[in-house]
């Protein structure tokens, strides 16, 4: 009775999951693969892309403002925006593809270990169950049952021991598009005043106010989305604003110093 109780408790803590069988397409129990919340990875990509888009292009345009020309700010800002958009998209695609390859390598290692040294696999399974309070005596029947099916063993160890979820390589291009477009729209917002206000100092002021408001709202919304409430959400908003402001301030100071140095060398 005690072993049964512990076994039930462990099964509630470990996410066994289900998956389609490769041959008959039916749902097969024992597929130990964690299923992340729907669209959570795309939300993460959008947050990363939008945050970088708000911070980096704004810092670049703020720095270029020291040159005193709206044309320079617009051309330089757009160049950075397009380059950053492509770079972020490719980075997201390569990251997803790399995760899929890493998972495949680890999966092959577990499969080879199952075929060549099944005793070590049994030991690994016992260790996993022991983390959930199951004694070897209680765990051995479950381990014996798992060992009858290679696929179940591999999936279980990939999830419960290595804490890895199988990536979907087909979603790599979606992640790339989400992150790339999020970066583009995030970076385009601080640049808009420079298209309509020809005095760069005034455009910078408007851009700063707009970006500050968006950074505060973005930091707060990001905290709410991940479950932070109350004071923590306000702190997240202030942190996001401080990071963006610091990046813009440093960039503006460096560009002004460089511009001043170049003017001094000409005279």
* Tens of pLDDT, residues 52-105: 888 888 888 887 887 778 888 899 989 999 999 999 999 888 888 888 888 888
pLDDT surpasses 80 at 149: yes
Average pLDDT along the chain = 79
Q: State pLDDT tens for residues 178-225.
A: 999 999 998 998 899 999 988 888 998 999 899 889 889 888 888 888
pLDDT at residue 24, rounded to an integer = 42
Alpha helices for 133-171 (secondary structure H): 136-146, 150-156
Q: Which of 21-35, 36-50, 185-199, 235-249 has the lowest mean pLDDT?
A: 21-35
CB atoms within 10 A of CB 98: 12
In whole angstroms, what is the distance from residue 211 CA to residue 249 CA? 13
Q: Provide mean pLDDT across the span 14-40.
A: 45
Residues of the chain with pLDDT > 90: what percent?
12
Are residues 253 and 261 in contact, defined by beta-carbon separation less than 8 angstroms? no
Residue 231 C-beta-side C-alpha neighbours within 13 Å: 0
End-to-end C-alpha distance for the chain, whole angstroms = 91
Domain extent listing, the chain: 2-32+41-254
In this predicted structure, the answer to whether residue 36 has a pLDDT above a threshold of 60 is: no
The confidence score (pLDDT) of residue 32 equals 42
Secondary structure of residue 226 in the 3-state scheme: coil
Rounded CA separation 13/1 (Å): 19
Strand partners, 29: 18
Tell whether the torsion through CA atoms of 27, 32, 33 and 36 is positive or negative: positive
Which range (161-170, 216-225, 232-241) has the least confidence?
161-170
Whether the per-residue pLDDT at 13 is higher than 80: the answer is no
- Average pLDDT on 123-134 reads 85
- Whether residue 11 is predicted with pLDDT greater than 80 in this model: the reply is no
């Amino acid at each position: 009775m005690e072993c049964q109780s512990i076994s039930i408790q462990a099964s509630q803590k470990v996410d066994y999951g289900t998956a389609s069988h490769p041959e008959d397409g039916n749902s097969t129990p024992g597929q130990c693969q964690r299923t992340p919340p729907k669209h959570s990875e795309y939300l993460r990509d959008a947050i990363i892309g939008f945050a970088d888009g708000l911070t980096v292009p704004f810092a670049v345009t703020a720095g270029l403002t020291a040159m005193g020309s709206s044309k320079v700010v617009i051309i330089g800002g757009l160049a950075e925006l397009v380059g950053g958009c492509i770079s972020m998209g490719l980075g997201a695609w390569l990251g997803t593809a790399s995760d899929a390859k890493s998972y495949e390598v680890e999966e092959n290692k577990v499969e080879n270990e199952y075929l060549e040294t099944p005793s070590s696999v049994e030991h690994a399974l016992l260790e996993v169950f022991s983390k959930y309070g199951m004694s070897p005596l209680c765990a051995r029947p479950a381990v014996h049952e798992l060992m009858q099916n290679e696929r179940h063993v591999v999936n279980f160890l990939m999830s419960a021991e290595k804490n890895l979820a199988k990536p979907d390589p087909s979603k790599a291009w979606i992640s790339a598009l989400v992150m790339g477009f999020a970066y583009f729209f995030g970076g385009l917002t601080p640049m808009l005043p420079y298209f309509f206000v020809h005095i760069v100092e005034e455009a910078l002021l408007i851009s700063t106010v707009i970006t500050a408001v968006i950074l505060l709202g973005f930091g707060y919304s990001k905290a709410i989305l991940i479950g932070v409430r109350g004071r923590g959400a306000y702190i997240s908003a202030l942190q996001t604003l401080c990071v963006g402001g610091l990046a813009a301030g440093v960039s503006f100071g460096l560009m002004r110093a460089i511009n001043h140095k170049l003017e001094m060398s000409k005279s």
